[in-house]
Structure 1
Amino acid sequence: MQIPPGLIVFTGIWFLPYSPRWLITKGREAEAYTSLKRLMGSEDEGFEVEFNRMKEQIKLEKAREVKSFAQLWKRYRRRVLVSVAVQTCTSLSGVNVIGYYQTILYAGIGITGKTVLLLSGAYGTLGPIANLISLWKVDSWGRTRSLFWGAMALVIDLTLVMVLTRFYAGTTNSVGQGFIIAFIFCYTFIYYLGFNSVTWTYGAEVLPVHIRSKGNALAAFSHFIFNIAVNQAAPTAFANVGYRFYALFIALNLCTAIIVWAYFPETKGLSLEEIADLFGDEVVPESRLDQSMRSPNERDTKDLNPSKQPSADHFEQIHQA
């Protein structure tokens, strides 16, 4: 079942254009120009401004190249913290705990036999559907809006799962058990709709190109460390505290919503250069962009404009002095 999605990704890669910024860093400006034109779909005045902004910003960032993680932390601390935080919050949402141990959860509420496996298979189909919707709408919804409301929806959903499990697990009330299963299914749909497509996108775009590999490495490290921690603790926790274990993820998702609301800037519709300005980093001034867009001849003769030349009266005053 995993082969067809892999083939789709492998085939699709060959149709993706190279990143214009990456091409500029490699000195392949002509290819970068073509790639950006393909991505923007036009070559109007705004296109030229955007292309020149990229070139000048990359020159500026190269002059401040980060060669170690210590420099990364010193110069881009806030950006790195946001990138790491969004991945950490993802791991602590509880998605992998519920995904990995859902068969235990179904058995705990009284479901037995092949029904457990059928439910597990049905659960796995919801993620891709929600992902497709998220990929289509994420640029209109916004990054932080998706994360905030996604986290709040998970809080509500897990609260309902916990309360219903408290009263209906192990009983003969099939309606109550059905609602528990329904809200577990809702959980994965909400997560993939609000979190999964956003976290990897947002965590990367808050980092400038020249530090992205190091910043993403730290974010991914945090993601998997916390993933391992909660997944290893889950079987023991469910065995000892049962449905109360959901309270941990309710609290963590509430914390995520607060962190997103208070500290995560919205990056929807912004270029990387505009995001740099959003974080208070040094960006290329407009005057430098104006200079870079002139032809060499225009730059050499820009001071020959008669309106900017010294007047005859000025020369006369100097002569008299």
Structure 2
Amino acid sequence: MPSSRKPFLGLRGNALSWAVTCVSGSAFLLFGYDQGLMGSIISTPYFLNAIDIKLTDAETISTIVSIYDIGCMIGCLIAAVLGVRLGRKQMITIGLSIMVVGAIIQASSFSVAQLCVGRIIAGFGNGMNTGNVPTWVSELSKAGSRGKMVATQLCIAAFGIVIAYWMNYGFFHLTGQIVWRFPVAFQASFALVALAFLPFLPESPRFLLAKERYEEADEVLAALADAPINDAGVQADKAAILTTIAHEDAKGQFSFLSIIYDKSGQKINIRILLAMSIQMLQEMPGINMVFYYSSVLFIGLGIADQTALVLGGVTSVSFWLGSVLGIFLVDKIGRKKLLYSGSITMLIGYCVYAPMISHGGDTQLWVAFGATCLVVAACGWSWLSVPWIYGAELLPVRYRHIGGALNAFTNWTFTFVIVKTGPIGLANIGWKLYIVYIVFTFLALPAVYFFYPETSGLTLEQIDGLFIKDRAHEVDEIERERAAKHGDEKGSIMAEATQLA
């Protein structure tokens, strides 16, 4: 007897796509929440006394903050190795469960050692999440809205920073250990929400087809298109994905060696390098110094503790508002133009900020604060989301989980570099550290111009054609046929079924 169960909570079409984005956003919210959390609690007396450190101990504080990033790096590598077997959704489920354990250990800490263990464990989980979530969302999204969907989850992550800062500001007026223990424990609630809904959402159809789970893939593709399984468009989508997988197989079996040295003609090593480098370009301008250490930075400039927390909260809101703008721009004006606009605006902000803090004075400090808001807003609409989008777009199906994982690994690697060396650099060379950030902000412009393709509006299969010459003409021909057959000038290459299925 056929089952009357409606898959995916009965959601179909855009409703299902947005459900995936929101649940993945809840998982990614943990990413932003930790940045805002540590940026605001590391200066509170109750936290410092509980683990017996001083605010002036830059070495220990930077270790506590940055050790999380090492855990994230390891989690990303685990995702790269296991993702091909377990799939996107199962890896995210494991990652969220590990994060809950890490949150409990951190919230119950009475020593630097226990806190560091908790942060490493939480990092394992978050590394798995960040290595899989953008790929999962991208593979479940339409070409014309894929950037918007990934940008939305990054916007939710940015809102996590806002929640953390303002929650900590509210707890600042209380007394006792609850001031920092509750905000640390609260992060588990986001993971639990995502865990509750994940079982009801679909796995990536591209992963399912790569694993020859055809019936499940049919069900997912039909639900995403809000059409019957036997619909011509659904079957064309399926056939084109299968054709792309067949092309990959024809180039040779999957091999981890291709990450370093690729002889298949798919340029796997070059595409991996691009996916990793874009995250380095995101991090080296030092934006995470603001989020992890904002209250410490403002206090160091002579601003009172409570005011510093407020300013940190305002900075987080500026970042989030910038990320909201990015949702509407990323597919409309394209990835590259968005990055150009962000880098140029960040350059202007940094060039104002550095001389202001070098001279001191009340007026200069407020100008510096305004420049900080400009820098983070510009990063929010551009560099926050686009590197993650590229990480999920640039690799073919069988290597996409590795591309996403190594993209996230690079993010956490250079986040570690920034949050570990930043406080030490400020202590030794002061405002001159920002000259380094200005240089890296500038270098991002020619790097994006010369090395990165524009992928806005292209299907994942079309993006594959950008790197493989013998596929490029095929992609164009299939697009023209699909447009003629379905009247959809921006349709995907899925009509290849009629030729090559």
TM-score range, shorter chain: 0.7 to 0.9
Shift of 1:60: 2.1
Shift of 1:59: 1.8
Give yes or no for contact 2:394–2:403 (8 Å, CA) kept in 1: no
Q: 2:366 aligns with which of 155, 173, 178?
A: 178
Shift of 1:100: 2.0
In structure 1, the residue corresponding to 2:255 is in which secondary structure?
A: coil
- Tell me the equivalent position of 2:308: 116
Instruction: Please state if 1:89 is matched with 2:281.
Output: yes
Instruction: Please state if 1:145 is matched with 2:311.
Output: no
Question: Once structures 1 and 2 are overlaid, which stretch shifts more, 8-17 or 79-88?
Answer: 8-17
Q: 1:206 to 1:180 in 2, by over 3 A?
A: same
Q: 1:90 to 1:11 in 2, by over 3 A?
A: farther
Residues of 2 paired with 1:142 and 1:3: CA distance? 35
Instruction: Please state if 1:29 is matched with 2:186.
Output: no
The structure whose RCO (Cα within 8 Å, separation 6+) is larger is 1
- Tell me the equivalent position of 1:159: 351
Q: 1:141 to 1:289 in 2, by over 3 A?
A: same
In structure 2, the residue corresponding to 1:195 is in which secondary structure?
A: coil
In structure 1, the residue corresponding to 2:455 is in which secondary structure?
A: coil
- Tell me the equivalent position of 2:246: 59
- Tell me the equivalent position of 1:219: 407
CA deviation profile, 1:116-136 (whole Å, cap 9, x unmatched): 122223333444443344334
CA deviation profile, 1:113-171 (whole Å, cap 9, x unmatched): 3211222233334444433443344222322222222122211111111122233x2x2
Instruction: Please state if 1:243 is matched with 2:458.
Output: no
In structure 1, the residue corresponding to 2:418 is in which secondary structure?
A: helix
In structure 2, the residue corresponding to 1:141 is in which secondary structure?
A: coil
Q: 1:117 to 1:207 in 2, by over 3 A?
A: same
Q: 1:192 aligns with which of 358, 372, 380?
A: 380
Shift of 1:10: 3.8
RMSD of the TM alignment (CA)?
A: 2.7
Q: 1:65 to 1:282 in 2, by over 3 A?
A: farther
In structure 2, the residue corresponding to 1:196 is in which secondary structure?
A: coil
- Alignment gaps of 5+ in structure 1: 294-321
Instruction: Please state if 1:210 is matched with 2:398.
Output: yes
Which structure 2 residues correspond to residues 282-301 of structure 1 after superposition, within 5 A? 282-283=470-471, 285=474, 289-292=497-500
Give yes or no for contact 1:73–1:80 (8 Å, CA) kept in 2: no
Residues of 1 paired with 2:408 and 2:392: CA distance? 11
Give yes or no for contact 2:258–2:269 (8 Å, CA) kept in 1: no
Residues of 2 paired with 1:212 and 1:109: CA distance? 44
Residues of 2 paired with 1:282 and 1:208: CA distance? 15
* Residue identity opposite 1:237 in structure 2: G
Question: Once structures 1 and 2 are overlaid, which stretch shifts more, 248-257 or 45-54?
Answer: 45-54
Give yes or no for contact 1:95–1:188 (8 Å, CA) kept in 2: yes
* Residue identity opposite 1:268 in structure 2: S
Give yes or no for contact 2:259–2:272 (8 Å, CA) kept in 1: no
Residues of 1 paired with 2:219 and 2:438: CA distance? 48
Shift of 1:235: 1.8
Normalised to the residue count of structure 1, the TM-score between the two structures is 0.79
Q: Percent same amino acid at aligned positions?
A: 27
Give yes or no for contact 2:279–2:387 (8 Å, CA) kept in 1: yes
Normalised to the residue count of structure 2, the TM-score between the two structures is 0.52
- Tell me the equivalent position of 2:256: 68
Q: 1:262 aligns with which of 450, 457, 461?
A: 450
Q: 1:153 to 1:49 in 2, by over 3 A?
A: same
- Tell me the equivalent position of 1:299: none
Residues of 2 paired with 1:146 and 1:39: CA distance? 28
Q: 1:25 to 1:191 in 2, by over 3 A?
A: same
- Tell me the equivalent position of 1:49: 236
Which structure 2 residues correspond to residues 127-138 of structure 1 after superposition, within 5 A? 127-138=319-330
Matched positions, count: 289
Instruction: Please state if 1:38 is matched with 2:223.
Output: yes
CA deviation profile, 1:85-109 (whole Å, cap 9, x unmatched): 1111122121112222223321333
* Residue identity opposite 1:191 in structure 2: C
Instruction: Please state if 1:272 is matched with 2:480.
Output: no
Q: 1:235 to 1:84 in 2, by over 3 A?
A: same
* Residue identity opposite 1:290 in structure 2: T
CA deviation profile, 1:4-45 (whole Å, cap 9, x unmatched): 544554455355432221111121223323322333445775
Residues of 2 paired with 1:132 and 1:3: CA distance? 25
